[in-house]
Amino acid sequence: MRRCWAIGACRHQWEPARAGHLDPKLESSLLLILEPSLDKEHQQKVIDQLAAMGVESQLVRSYTQSVVFVMSDVRSLPTHEFSQLSGVRKVVRLSPSCPLTLDEFGNRRVNLNVPSPRDTAGSDGNYNSNRDKTRSAPSGDLNTCGAGTLAIGGGAPPVVIAGPCSVEGRDQILDLAKQLKTSGAHALRGGAFKPRTSPYEFSGLGADALGYLREAGERNALPVVSEVLSEAQIEAAMDTVDMLQIGARNMYNYELLKEVGRSGKPVLLKRGLSATIEEYVQAAEYILLEGNSQVVLCERGIRTFESATRNTLDLSAVPILKSMTGLPVLVDPSHATGKRSLIRSMSRAAIACGADGLLIEVHARPMKSISDAEQAISPAELAQIVDDVRIFSEALRIADGVKTEMVELCGTVGASEKSGDGASVIRQLSAATRKH
């Protein structure tokens, strides 16, 4: 029969332990595999070094292998601090090294400022932005959380963020924003700085577009979301944009992630074109590590061998990310499919799987859009999607309510059977079903 021995981090006596078993009250976050040639004295030195670092650990030995289970939360410590310990052959992480993203905060909510609707364009056509005035939320907006804020995630109704792929001019975005507001959009998106695959394609109007977006947002009480590509662009967007977007191409741009984290602005982080969920969560960690907890994730499809759509929409990522992180998760069906005919159906699917909202490309004249015309939809089509979002989210809310009530009522069946009052429970279940 095989035997193994365990040494506690602060215990110097040997204790017999069952092979392959640890203290069930402890949970390991890191595993250190020791050199096979290491004797007991040097194994103890590894334990002592960990104790000096303030790390609790437990050694498990068999005739063929010796390993150290690290019990302390060391997710924020770099792996090399353990791999360079004398006698350690290999380090294996048993939990993801992203403590801020995975911390158990529950469902997090991100709030965007909602500007007061007003028209402040002067007779000369110049726009005089006044962002310091008190903002008031649009009346009847179910997503408003207090005066002048739009809630994303945290149990709030799903939001719809819509707008053109790129801002093409002042008149274009002002007219479109008005139509988007009528269609039921909650926020305005638009590209001022566009990362294009070809350097010869239209790459945005730059800082001028930010001013147009701000004007359109304030005229229609719509928070503004726009992508930034560099630190200089972050500075330019600070006074005009309510949420900074990090596009799929820049998910791996860690210096940019740090900068938007330092900005303190809410951040919409898109998943990289071929990023795994683990890599995506690690990217969010860079932003959170700078003290910015206002992060919203966005599943926009990943690159696969499938060519029928622009990308492959990974809807399974939505519930996975929500359960792993508690961060709000949006879905971008426009970039995911690249086809306007699929936007509505995939929007429905996104809400059904638990997305906290949608990011959709809309153009007043979709076929004439300078960027991504194939995936742009009209304001009229957006209105249909907004109705779908409301209907689907309400249906899910009712279904969850029925389930909860049924479970509570069924919990009384046992007691009712003992008292001979089972018929009463059946009547309550029927009444609950009719009510919903």
Give, for 335, the enclosing helix (H) or strand (E).
helix 333-337
Kindly give the pairing relationship between strand 66-70 and strand 30-34: antiparallel
The contacts of residue 84 (CB under 8 Å, 6+ apart) are none
| Per-residue pLDDT, 102 | 62
Q: Are residues 29 and 61 in the same domain?
A: yes
* C-alpha closest to that of 158 among 171, 141, 175, 174: 141
Angle at which helices 379-410 and 340-352 cross, to 10°: 20
pLDDT tens-digit map of 141-172: 456 554 589 999 999 999 999 999 999 999 99
Q: Which two tokens stand for residue 74?
A: 């060391």
- Residue 107 and residue 327 in contact, taking contact as beta carbons nearer than 8 Å: no
Q: Are residues 48 and 189 in the same domain?
A: no
Q: Are residues 263 and 189 in the same domain?
A: yes
Q: Are residues 70 and 188 in the same domain?
A: no
What does the alpha-carbon distance between residue 46 and residue 5 come to, in Å, rounded to a whole number?
Answer: 15
Domain assignment present for residue 308? The answer is yes
| Per-residue pLDDT, 215 | 96
Based on the structure, what is the number of domains in the chain? 3
Q: Which two tokens stand for residue 301?
A: 């499809």
Strands (E), 292-403: 295-299, 329-331, 357-361
Domain assignment present for residue 104? The answer is no
Domain assignment present for residue 284? The answer is yes
What does the alpha-carbon distance between residue 298 and residue 107 come to, in Å, rounded to a whole number?
Answer: 16
Q: Are residues 315 and 400 in the same domain?
A: no
Radius of gyration of the chain (CA): 27
Last residue of a domain, one of 33, 63, 95: 95
**Number of CB atoms found within 10 A of residue 231's CB:** 15
Q: Are residues 122 and 45 in the same domain?
A: no
CATH number of the structural domain spanning residue 53: 3.30.70.1140
CA distances (Å), 434 to each of 229, 351, 411, in order? 53, 25, 19
| Per-residue pLDDT, 430 | 60
Q: Are residues 197 and 305 in the same domain?
A: yes
**Number of CB atoms found within 10 A of residue 393's CB:** 19
* C-alpha closest to that of 315 among 345, 295, 339, 292: 345
SS3 of 332, please?
Answer: coil
| Per-residue pLDDT, 197 | 79
Domain assignment present for residue 100? The answer is no
CATH number of the structural domain spanning residue 331: 3.20.20.70
Q: Are residues 291 and 399 in the same domain?
A: no
Last residue of a domain, one of 64, 95, 126: 95
Last residue of a domain, one of 34, 64, 95: 95
Q: Are residues 274 and 205 in the same domain?
A: yes
| Per-residue pLDDT, 147 | 52
CA distances (Å), 295 to each of 8, 386, 403, in order? 40, 23, 31
What does the alpha-carbon distance between residue 334 and residue 321 come to, in Å, rounded to a whole number?
Answer: 20
User: Which residue stretches of the chain have pLDDT < 50?
Assistant: 1-26, 120-141, 146
pLDDT tens-digit map of 182-236: 999 999 999 999 887 788 787 788 999 999 999 999 999 999 999 999 999 999 9
Identify the residue whose tokens are 């801002």.
167
- Residue 223 and residue 163 in contact, taking contact as beta carbons nearer than 8 Å: no
Identify the residue whose tokens are 């997090």.
108
- Residue 301 and residue 336 in contact, taking contact as beta carbons nearer than 8 Å: yes
Q: Are residues 45 and 146 in the same domain?
A: no
What does the alpha-carbon distance between residue 7 and residue 112 come to, in Å, rounded to a whole number?
Answer: 52
| Per-residue pLDDT, 103 | 58
Domain assignment present for residue 102? The answer is no
Annotate 75-97 with DSSP letters as a single string. Answer: TTS-THHHHTSTTEEEEEESS-S
The contacts of residue 407 (CB under 8 Å, 6+ apart) are none
Q: Which domain holds residue 168?
A: 109-394
**Number of CB atoms found within 10 A of residue 227's CB:** 24
| Per-residue pLDDT, 63 | 74
Q: Are residues 386 and 405 in the same domain?
A: no
Domain assignment present for residue 228? The answer is yes
Domain assignment present for residue 243? The answer is yes
Domain assignment present for residue 132? The answer is yes
Q: Are residues 84 and 148 in the same domain?
A: no
